[in-house]
Each structure stands twice: as C-alpha cells, then as structure tokens.
Amino acid sequence: MYTLEDWIRHGDELRRPLLVSQELHESDSLTIVGGGLSGLSIAFRIGSARPDLPIKLLEKSNRLGGVIKTWRQGEWVCDISVNAVRPHPSFWRLVDDLGMEDSFSPSRESASSRWVILQGGKHRLSSSTIFKIGLFGFLRGLINSRKGSPSVYDILRNKEIADAMTLGIVNDKAERVDANFLFPRLTGFGVNPPIGNRKMKKMITDSYPIFIPKKGSLASMDGGMEDIIHGLNDALSEMNNVDIIKEVNEKTPDEVSSAYGVPLSSIIWASGLPNREAGESSLSVFAVGYPKEEVNEVELGYGTLIPDPNIPISGILHESDIHSSDRAPDGHRLFRLMVPHTRWDGDDQTVKDALSNLIGFEAAPVIFQKIGERAIPRYPPGYLSSLLDHQERFSYAGWTASGVSVTHVVDEAERISELFMQ
C-alpha cells in the first residue's frame, strides 16, 4: 500500500492505476515508445535515477512533443493544445530538476474568471454554480457518484454545465465521459489517503518547489508549453544511457519487440493505446487577435465554455490575458478558439460569425488563423475501471491511457521511475 510520503508526493494521482507489467522493473534495458511529454518525462526520470540502464526512446514522427505544440507568428504566441498547468507539485519538480524555474510563472490573478454560456446567458463559474444544479440534482449526483461507473452527467445533473466541463477537457458530451476518469476523488475511485483531505492538501501544498500556487491559479512556461519539451530534449541529450530514435515505422509492441530484439516486458508504450476501441473526437484550433481598444468590452479572464451544439465554437480561451509572459504584440489581445468538427461546417466564416455573436459586436481581427487540429481519445463510462485488470506483458503510459492532464503524465513518470529505485 501507499505510504503517507507517497500521498504527499503524488496526491490523488495514486487513485489512478499504474499500468505497468510486473517484470518492468527487472529489465536490463528499456524501450519507450512515444516522444511526447509522457515518453520524454519517463526517459528523463528513469534515466536520471538509473544511469546504468540503457534506454531507447522511439518516436514515429520527425519531432518530439506529441500533442504539445506552440504556434508562433511574429510576436503572437499560442499553444495549440495544453497552454498551462494546474497546481500539482510533480510538474513544479520537473521544471525545477530541469533548471527552468526562471521561465516558469504563475498565471495572472486578474484573469482567473471563467464563464459558461447557459440558456443563452453568460454565467461566471463559482461556488454559486451549484445552485444551477439544484438541491435535488446535487443529491442525485451524490448518490450516483458512488454507483459503479457513472458518467459525468450522472454526477453533475445539469446538462449544460456538465457538457461544458467535458467539452473543455476531452471534447465530448458529459453522458459519454467516465466520471471516474475525470474526477476520481469526487467518485471515490481507487484507494484513499491515510489522513483527511484537508490535512493532506496542506502537506502537499507545503511540498511545492519554486513557488506555491494560489487557489484557482495556473502556471505556464514563458515561451509556451513547447519549452518544456525543449528542456527535456536538452537534458536527455546529455545522458549517455538514453538514445532517441525518430521516424520509426513499428506500430505495435510486438513489432517493436521484434525489430529491436527486446522483450515485451521492457517496453513502455506511451504513444496511444494499441487497438483502442473507444475511438476519438477531433477539433480545430484558431488563433484570433484584436487591438485592445476593439475588444475592451470583453472582460479579462481565463475563458468561456459554450455547450450549445448549435454554436461551432465550444470554448474561447483568453491566451494573452492568462499568462505572465507576452503572447501578443503590445496593445493587442489574443484568443484561442476550440472548434469541434461535429459542430463545424468547415467554413472559416462560420467561425467568425459565431465569434462576433458571442462577444456581442463585430470587431475586425488583425489575425484570424487556424493553427492546428487535435484528435482526443474518448473515455466512455466504465473506462477507468476497465484498466484495473492490466495483464499485458508490456506497460502503458500517457494521457491516452489512465489520465488526460499534463500533471498526470508527469507524475506518472515519477511513479514509474520509483519502481526502479525500490
């Protein structure tokens, strides 16, 4: 079982299963498949802890980083997927260990407000949001949270609010998303800490290196989240026991085992689950910039979630409001739009028209550009429970497996590396 020290280091991440083979820690070499944040973090953590252990990191493309990409055009800077990190000491530890603390900053307190469009009106998310669910809905959700494998809608008994939450995280409707996967502490999934949550939270907070985040705040790399990828790559390049190989062709663990002459038990698959049956959803990401005087009526904040399926935009993030570092030229503001493909007809003008309606006036953007697309795995009700009986000879890791956040994959890398130090 986990010790109190384990809980202080990892918090509620310990509720998620660690999908490793029983023989992994006995390996005399490792092959990590996937050069995204997960694979890079695992290679860094294990490679640092065990400099005697040869590690191969395989990546199918010609770049590292996976879904983490930062778009730049002149002075405009916008992350295409992950743009900031929610408080968890594992990411703070990674930044500290990479020596990147000078470029890691808390989000602006003035941009902490979040909104959701409910029945055509803009509602600020706060503790009062619970009243939108109602007493009966709250009690029903509480009961459902302890029943088997509930969906997010089973827990948050207001469809608009529930859909807004899940669309903003996994681009899917609440009734199709596993509540255990998104909110394991809320549902009581997995193991429980040995002491009360309040005391545990205080002990975890005291363990943060670099700086202690304030309630409701985020943190980000000054030049965009791709900076952490560059930092990991630089660190791995200095390790004599780590070899990075790009543009590999092998698509399954069996193919990797055969091509590199390694046992399945020494493979960590951090590149999406092979033969994943749940499928995925897709969306496009737009960067939109305005002169500040054109959008003065748009409040400073983190962003707005839009659950209405008739509107092509599901979320507007205030990129230049959030970060301490500059994301737009002086005198301008930058917004990031999330556009699910199930809502959009493919015409950019449809997105422009919807944005004008949402902000309440027609302002002429100085930049309007599609900067990328994302494919996000689906996590249907029962998904996390289905991972408990892990019997594969190889190991799984990454956000396509048991967690969807940056903090999950970084903390998971630490948890896996600790197996090699026991």
Tokens of 403: 């967690």
For 319-331, give one letter per residue: b (16+ CB within 10 A) or e.
Answer: bbbbbeeebbeee
pLDDT score of 291: 96
- Strands 315-317 and 303-305, how do they pair? antiparallel
DSSP string covering 66-132: TT--EEEETTEEEESS---B-S-HHHHHHHHHTT-GGGEEEPPGGG--EEEEETTEEEE-SGGGHHH
Rounded-to-10 torsion of CA 401, 406, 407, 411 = 60
10 φ, ψ (degrees, to nearest 5): -115, -15
Cα torsion 362, 337, 349, 281: sign = negative
Per-residue pLDDT 10s for the chain (422 aa) are 899 999 999 999 999 999 999 899 999 999 999 999 999 999 999 999 999 999 999 999 999 999 999 999 999 999 999 999 999 999 999 999 999 999 999 999 999 999 999 987 899 998 888 888 887 887 888 888 888 899 999 999 999 999 999 999 999 999 999 999 999 999 999 999 999 989 999 999 999 999 999 988 899 999 999 999 999 999 999 999 999 999 999 999 999 999 999 999 999 999 877 666 778 999 999 999 999 999 999 999 999 999 999 999 999 999 999 999 999 999 999 999 999 999 999 999 999 999 999 988 788 899 999 999 999 999 999 999 988 887 889 999 998 888 889 999 999 999 999 999 86
- Tens digit of pLDDT for each residue in 394-417? 999 998 888 889 999 999 999 999
pLDDT score of 275: 60
Scanning the structure block, which residue is given the tokens 């990190």? Answer: 85
Contact at 8 Å (CB) between 355 and 290?
A: no
pTM over 0.85: yes
pLDDT score of 274: 62
Scanning the structure block, which residue is given the tokens 């594992």? Answer: 90
CA 357, CA 354: separation in Å to the nearest integer? 5
Domains of the chain and any CATH numbers: 4-68+86-105+225-277+380-421 (3.50.50.60), 114-182 (no CATH), 280-377 (3.90.660.20)
